[in-house]
Amino acid sequence: MNYVYLKRLYDKRAELEAKLELHDARYCFGEEEVDDGTDSDLRQRLSEISDEIDALESRPGR
């Protein structure tokens, strides 16, 4: 398994989660311009990265 690649995926997922939290906080405080599709884009990217991490971790020989 390529542990460097897996670590980069973990780091990218953490970065996207932080961006999503910031986006959600801005939305909660009434900033209307944040309702531009960024939320769904971030959630989609998080889902894709999480699926890739799951696939890598579930490979035989890990």
> How much is the pLDDT for 29?
81
pLDDT of residue 62: 54
Break the chain into its structural domains and give their ranges. 3-57
More confident residue, 60 or 12: 12
Residues whose CB is less than 8 angstroms from the CB of residue 29 and which lie 6 or more positions away in sequence, other chains included? none
DSSP string, 8-50: HHHHHHHHHHHHHHHHHHHHHTT-GGG-SSHHHHHHHHHHHHH
Determine the Cα–Cα distance for residues 4 and 8; give it in Å rounded to an integer: 6
| 4-41 residue pLDDT tens | 999 999 999 999 999 999 888 887 887 666 567 888 99
What's this model's pTM, rounded to 2 decimal places? Answer: 0.81
Q: What is the pLDDT of residue 38?
A: 84
